[in-house]
Amino acid sequence: MAEADYVVVGSGSAGCALAYRLSESGAADVIVIEAGGTDAGPFIQMPGALSLPMNMRRYDWGYRAEPEATLGGRRLQTPRGRVIGGSSSINGMVYVRGHAKDFDHWEAAGASGWAYADVLPYYKRLEAMEGGDPVWRGLLGPLNVRRGEMRNPLYHAFVEAGMQAGYPVTPDYNGERQEGFGPMQQTIWRGRRWSAANAYLRPALQRQNCRLLTGEATHVVMDGSRATGVAVKRRRRLGEVRARKEVILCAGAINSPLLLLRSGIGPADELAEAGVETKVPRPGVGRNLQDHLELYIQQECREPITLNGYLNLFAKGQIGMEWMMLHTGHGATNHFEACGFVRSAAGIDYPDIQYHFIPAAVRYDGRAAAEGHGYQAHVGPMRSKSRGSIRLTGAGPDAPPSIRFNYMSHPDDWRDFRTAIRLTRELFAQDAFERYRGREIQPGEAVKSDEDLDAFVRDHAESAYHPCGAARMGAADDPDAVVDPECRVIGVEALRVADSSIFPSVTNGNLNGPSIMVGEKAADHVLGRQMLPRETLLPKLAEGWETRQR
């Protein structure tokens, strides 16, 4: 079909950043392969419509996880973007770097050169943070980031409640101190979703040396132990895109491990069972799968000031018209405008619970949770010890993968969720919510005991859509690692993986930001450049964390 120096599979968060940087100098040409179609139109570009694209088969791979015994046999959706921009075109547009200690843990796990001091320069290179402190934040990068405007008084009530409960206020959780309550940051610019496609891919495609090819990558083409290209299915025809230098998989948390497995790179016994010839045995491929689970804690609001008043068709039409004409109003925000990061107990050195607050009581599909008005906090533990796997069910690309997260399989997960629910109830009980607070919609005031809370978690916990880790980065001599610290697939020449699948452990927050950072840093590894100089900044931990929860 085509040939280029570098063949990038996937136009998601990392793939767009990688293509932009690889083609930046003009010295090499790049082909980006994307299975999905255009991201044009209001469903994706209007931030307020965020619940629509992730529920549309047109934009999503349609994956569902296996039944989870710990969740009552429920099969949770695993939406992954099948569209230009990948999952950055269907996500919630929340921007979180992750805590500094997350990356220090990566390095301790064998990802040498990925400590906070190493990745901070890449975060600063990628960001254009509105009103950011240049000591901690980037101001001139491709990715526009802004703080939520917090015009609804309930946002301020949430932050005030956090302060009344004894937590600090943090004006920039991506800066010196993550812990605390404050405005949430959004990848929104001039009222539009600022996806990786808008930030990186469109500018890259203006260059003569970067091309986009629409088609589904089915496997990596190998010559012995060297990757030479990618097999691509286009309009029911199979062809090959050849790489003169390297193939880089940026197909995402599910599809990059799948492509490795379908290419014969993975656990030999599992490949044989699926009818795939083992070319490079790598037992870690498909293992170490992680995600964040969350709950919606919902409260009735006694004043008619919430977004529940805009869920009817007439109001939605008005919002859509204003957005299309002016890119302003309720359509120009994702409504996640206030947040919190707290520690669940004394002795935990950095936050392990995250809050997203919205002035509405709704489900993720955008439907009302109850009659009348309400508000809710999305809350969940950030560092679950549960681990899952991705496996093949057949040799061909049409065989659906087996995705099993093993949610709540570690006993600590249950304790952490109980704590998260009780801490949220404490927040909603503060004086800041006094004038607004009605009855508790969910879980409901009768749900109090450990057993009742566990049953609520089992029946209502949902994925926060942060899968990662199934092609783990580690030391080259680690038998369970899949890629080395330069993102090279261990045991294979000219093949790398650069996306959230290489995370050794899930970061503290949403994954779009860290995934873009991986694409930025991986580009310098691919090009053989010297890494950006390490930073010496040290983030603040809570004083007295050893003995105090707050």
Binding residues: 83, 91-94
What's the Rg (C-alpha) of the chain? 22
User: Do 406 and 361 meet the contact criterion of CB atoms below 8 Å apart?
Assistant: no
Binding residues for FAD: 83, 91-94
Give the strand order in the sheet containing 143-147.
127-129, 143-147, 185-186
- Supply the DSSP string of 34-91, one letter for each residue: ESSB---SHHHH-GGGTTTGGG-TTTB--EEPPPBGGGTTB--EE--B-BTTGGGGTS
Sorted by sequence, the CB contacts under 8 Å of residue 75 that are 6+ apart come out as: 64, 65, 66, 67, 68
CB 280 within 8 A of CB 41: no
> Any catalytic annotation for residue 335?
no
3-state SS of the chain: helix, strand, coil percent to 5? 30, 25, 45
* Spatial distance between the Cα atoms of 237 and 232, rounded to a whole number of angstroms: 8
Residues in CB range of 437: below 8 A, 6 or more apart: 299, 300, 301, 302, 428, 429
CA 175 remoteness from chain centre? 19
Tokens of 210: 């970067």
DSSP string, 266-332: E-HHHHHHHT---SEE-TTTT-SBB--EEEEEEEEESSS-SGGGG-SHHHHHHHHHHHHHHS-GGGG
3-state secondary structure of 177: coil
Burial of 459 per CB tally in 10 Å (0-12, 13-18, 19+): exposed
Q: Under a CB-based contact definition with an 8 Å cutoff, are residues 215 and 229 in contact?
A: no
Q: Which of 292, 330, 373, 466 is catalytic?
A: 466
Backbone angles phi, psi at 290, to 5 degrees: -135, 165
Please classify residue 26 by burial: count the beta carbons closer than 10 Å to its beta carbon, then call 0-12 exposed, 13-18 middle and 19+ buried: exposed
d(CA 221, CA 484): 21
- Which of 17, 7, 22, 4 minimizes the C-alpha distance to 500? 17
Contact of 466 with 381, CB cutoff 8 Å: no
In terms of residues, how long is the chain? 550
Q: Which residues are catalytic?
A: 466
